[in-house]
Structure 1
Amino acid sequence: MVRLHTDKAMVRLAAGLDEERNLDPAVAERALEALHRFRPVLTDLPADHVRVVGTNTLRAAANADGFLEQAESTLGVPIEIISGIEEARLIFSGVLAAGDGPPRPRCVIDIGGGSTELVRGEEKPTKLESLYMGCVSFSRRFFPEGEIRDKKTNHFERARRAARAELQGLQHMAADVDVVGASGTVKSVARVLNGGDLGTIERDAIDRLAEQVASARRVADLDLPGLEEERRPVFAAGLAVLHAIFCELDIRTMSVSPYAIREGIVHDLAGRLHGGDRRADTVAALMESSQIDAAQARRVGDTAVALLSSLREDAPREKTQRLRWAADLHEIGLALSHSNFRKLGAYMVENADLAGFSRSEQEHLAHLIQNQRGRIKSPREHYGFHPDPSLLLSLRLACIAHRDHTDRDIGDWQLSARKSGFRLSIPQVWLDRHPAIEDLLYQEAEHWRDQPQALRLQTD
């Protein structure tokens, strides 16, 4: 990996969430100003070479839609909101990309603004955790006035105890493996302890630093060599979380990686562009673990993609991939129930931790799986989630064509899109050979009658 350009802005978006989880307009504006500065870097890049990811704050914000609309307009590319577990996976991938020797078991720890990720693995993650604690959220919670201690309370100690409570039961994450820290909080502590360098963090050294910070009166009073001024407001909270991790997980030494989630995102994107899409591996693993009929998934997928091509010759690769994956997983709910397999399958796909997928991608897949047959349920649309009726129709027709799990040639079908809706033309002689499918197709036309784009079935 060769880094050609780097820029960053410390926005502290998590500081803008109020008690109702609404994002403060002033903080949102600060973030948008940073994005304006980044926009020129993206101007000449192909759209599929750009990936923008939103993490904990945008997962939590109740009013994120308005901000996302402005942010995407500013950048000119979509923003993917990812889960905490996906964030952890990308962090681990970024740390591995640093190439610090042969693969070995390790625990990677990253303290962000609103969440803390812990990942254990070797060449790939085997255990992933995302905890709702970070340097910004803990600053707001325990140091809102900038006081570290007053006459009654040691706020640093309260923050450290709260962090230790969050870590209960996770001692196994760092047992008998190398421990690696990543991102801002870990780097800032390392620099303070190592004269400005990213050296290792030793247990004795961080113990002494924690005592020193806990004895200060205010955040503004901290006089620590190597502490960057922009990091000062959240340093005490970040240190409290990191020291709690050392204590609760009994860590003696932590090395520091120069790479983290940004490099993980780049590494993941490179895989998508060059035949190593993590999402495809995730779908394949799901199919195997759920004992999905691979032959049926293939025949439905082939037919659905062919139908989509007749509707949209220039269908984007992402659309075709999504349709294929929906076909691969359309029967996943059968592992739990035959009568409610669509609803349960959609729930599984939308709520599972699917490596490589963003939240909106999982919502789209779930929508297709739930509506593969029967009455079409109108989804709760929000920013970033606008279902494509072409994908849904292609999947539904493919499921009809192969309802009996049989290979069937639909070369005589002609599907087209018009201003008034969709039209499916099939020779009557073909329908006469498949009377059950003929009935299902007429039912399908009825299901689309009240949709914005109706389906008209034409025979000749």
Structure 2
Amino acid sequence: MQDTERYAALDLGSNSFHLLLAEFRNQRMVRLHTDKAMVRLAAGLDEERNLDPAVAERALEALVRFRPVLTGLPTDHVRVVGTNTLRAAANADGFLQRAEDILGVPIEIISGIEEARLIFSGVLAAGDGPPRARCVIDIGGGSTELVRGEEKPSKLESLYMGCVSYSRRFFPEGAIRDKKTNHFERARRAARAELQGLQHMAEGVEVVGASGTIKSVARVLNGGDLGTIERKAIDRLAEQVASAKHVDDLDLPGLEEERRPVFAAGLAVLHGIFCELDIREMSVSPYAIREGIVHDLAGRLHGGDRRADTVATLMESGQIDTAQARRVGDTATTLLSRLQEDAPRATVQRLRWAADLHEIGLALSHSAFRKLGAYMVENADLAGFGSREQEHLAHLIRNQRGRIKPPREHYGFHPDPNLLLSLRLACITHRDHIDRDITDWQLEAKKNRFQLTIPQAWLDQQPAIEDLLYQEMEHWRDQPLPLKLDTV
């Protein structure tokens, strides 16, 4: 296959960064190149959730070596995601800006639930037999994801426990036990407490583990192979590790040296999962989030975009008037094409989704539907979407009419005035849920203003819309590009 059929996924995890370059052959994914860097990003968060500069520099240095693999690939064939630590870091903006400058592609910060969905998709990509119900578990550096499902997830959970965060919290300077405290037991109990009420996740189904911590335990127990983790075997291993005084004392065949500092914490979490969910055995998948990202990318380009399914589900659950969403979307995309010829597919799609969801808040309130709709879209767990995408949609929904409110200023969020104006004019045109033809409208983005020109005969037939359009000019008066309305 040509290079343009290749896809790259980069996972900026809390413990390590992982890169995958893959392509599809006969509808089956083939891994071409993998790379990883153990950066332990989560270890760099202080009590105020600020990322330590030295840790950030270490992480950025790792990205430099990933860059050549991404060079030359179309941007829509590359997806870089940040997980728990970058979700939590209060000063992530500076790191993200430098990281994107190095990589040359945007970084998406995804929710824990989206992370869980991608992990499940990756495990399914292994194609090990017919679809069957299973529980997939992934212990990362800062969070642990659990997913139950068959061909798609039915239950997803993301818990704030991981091998790096638990190492910092429970294993001071690598100590496993001392005269006063069994740190391993404390960590295991904390993990079990996090899992209370989640016994149903693994009940009656096959349990599959994924990613570094679980792979590391599997190799220790199976002579270096990714064999099944049996309950009796992990019980013995947990007892052996808990009896050691320090991580440096661990003498475990198959334990990689770079994994040693966080192995005890990761094992405590995993053993807590086995105990609390009463797991008897766990198979181990060679695939995880990176393979899920690649499948997601291919789906976006070949008619299987998970985000479209999410929007359709929201429209149904929110009882949205689909005819109104269609007419507003059609008019908005037509206006955008006049402002910006050959607009990127992703830009047009964002505008269409904003139109689809612009009335979602009406299910809750008629007077505050814009504010509520924006809040729902920005804060919900939307499968397939990154946080920045949700923020852009929320900004459009919040500002579909009335005074234009400025967004929160932070790196990576740059609202597109072309999209906003297109949506607002479309909402005005169809305020009464009636189809109208805008063929004779002219809309241009000039150097110092937006220029809208409409036949006076058209406005004479729509006096209410004419008044709204003149009000719209007032709303744009203080914007970088004001709106000017002329008639012919």
TM over 0.5: yes
The match for 2:430 is 402
Match of 2:454 among 416, 426, 429: 426
State the SS of the aligned residue for 2:365: coil
Q: Deviations over 1:84-105 (max 9, x none)?
A: 0000000000000000110000
Alpha-carbon separation, structure 2, partners of 1:144 and 1:305: 57
The match for 2:163 is 135
The match for 2:129 is 101
The match for 2:407 is 379
Point out 4+ residue stretches in structure 1 off by more than 4 angstroms.
none
Match of 1:71 among 71, 77, 99: 99
The match for 1:327 is 355
Alpha-carbon separation, structure 2, partners of 1:179 and 1:81: 28
After TM superposition, list the pairs within 5 Å mapping 1:169-208 onto structure 2: 169-208=197-236
1:88 aligns with 2:127: no
After TM superposition, list the pairs within 5 Å mapping 1:276-315 onto structure 2: 276-315=304-343
1:41 aligns with 2:54: no
1:233 aligns with 2:261: yes
The match for 2:181 is 153
State the SS of the aligned residue for 1:437: helix
State the SS of the aligned residue for 1:410: coil
Q: Deviations over 1:334-379 (max 9, x none)?
A: 0001111000000110111100000010000000001000011011
Match of 1:417 among 445, 450, 455: 445
Alpha-carbon separation, structure 2, partners of 1:264 and 1:234: 25
The runs of 5 or more residues in structure 2 that have no matched partner are 1-28
Match of 1:247 among 261, 275, 284: 275
Alpha-carbon separation, structure 1, partners of 2:172 and 2:89: 20
Q: Deviations over 1:189-243 (max 9, x none)?
A: 0000000000000000000000000000000000000000000000000000000
Root-mean-square deviation (CA, aligned residues, Å) is 0.5
State the Cα distance separating 1:314 from its structure 2 match.
Answer: 2.1
Alpha-carbon separation, structure 2, partners of 1:45 and 1:376: 37
1:27 aligns with 2:66: no
Q: Deviations over 1:50-107 (max 9, x none)?
A: 1100000000000000000000000000000000000000000000000011000000
Alpha-carbon separation, structure 1, partners of 2:138 and 2:393: 30
Alpha-carbon separation, structure 2, partners of 1:390 and 1:5: 39
State the Cα distance separating 1:172 from its structure 2 match.
Answer: 0.5
The match for 2:303 is 275
Alpha-carbon separation, structure 2, partners of 1:103 and 1:81: 30
The match for 2:487 is 459
Alpha-carbon separation, structure 1, partners of 2:301 and 2:432: 36
Look up the equivalent residue of 2:376 and give its one-letter code: M
State the SS of the aligned residue for 1:307: helix
Q: Which has the higher strand share?
A: 2
The match for 2:12 is none
Match of 2:294 among 257, 266, 287: 266
Look up the equivalent residue of 1:223 and give its one-letter code: D
1:6 aligns with 2:29: no
Match of 1:125 among 148, 153, 156: 153
Alpha-carbon separation, structure 2, partners of 1:35 and 1:144: 29
Alpha-carbon separation, structure 1, partners of 2:114 and 2:430: 34
Look up the equivalent residue of 1:214 and give its one-letter code: A
Q: Deviations over 1:23-58 (max 9, x none)?
A: 011111111111000101111111111110000000
The match for 1:450 is 478
State the SS of the aligned residue for 1:280: helix
Look up the equivalent residue of 2:56 and give its one-letter code: A
Aligned residues: 460
State the SS of the aligned residue for 1:319: helix
State the SS of the aligned residue for 2:204: coil
Alpha-carbon separation, structure 2, partners of 1:149 and 1:99: 42
Q: Deviations over 1:149-168 (max 9, x none)?
A: 00000000000011111111
Match of 1:111 among 139, 143, 147: 139
State the Cα distance separating 1:273 from its structure 2 match.
Answer: 1.2
State the Cα distance separating 1:143 from its structure 2 match.
Answer: 1.0
Match of 1:317 among 345, 350, 355: 345
State the Cα distance separating 1:326 from its structure 2 match.
Answer: 0.2
Q: Deviations over 1:374-430 (max 9, x none)?
A: 011011121111101100000000000000101100011100001112010001111
Q: Report the TM-score when normalising by structure 2.
A: 0.94
State the SS of the aligned residue for 2:146: strand
After TM superposition, list the pairs within 5 Å mapping 1:49-60 onto structure 2: 49-60=77-88
Look up the equivalent residue of 1:24 and give its one-letter code: D
Q: Deviations over 1:125-165 (max 9, x none)?
A: 00000000000000011112110000000000000011111
Q: Deviations over 1:275-326 (max 9, x none)?
A: 1100000001110111100000000000000000000002111110000000
1:370 aligns with 2:398: yes
State the SS of the aligned residue for 1:52: strand
Alpha-carbon separation, structure 2, partners of 1:184 and 1:421: 53
Look up the equivalent residue of 2:230 and give its one-letter code: E
State the SS of the aligned residue for 2:262: helix
Look up the equivalent residue of 1:140 and give its one-letter code: R
Match of 2:382 among 354, 364, 375: 354
The runs of 5 or more residues in structure 1 that have no matched partner are none
Alpha-carbon separation, structure 1, partners of 2:128 and 2:85: 31
Alpha-carbon separation, structure 2, partners of 1:144 and 1:435: 72
The match for 2:9 is none
State the SS of the aligned residue for 2:404: coil
Q: How many percent of aligned residue pairs carry the same amino acid?
A: 88
Look up the equivalent residue of 1:167 and give its one-letter code: L
Look up the equivalent residue of 1:310 and give its one-letter code: R
Look up the equivalent residue of 1:41 and give its one-letter code: V
Look up the equivalent residue of 2:210 and give its one-letter code: A
The match for 1:217 is 245
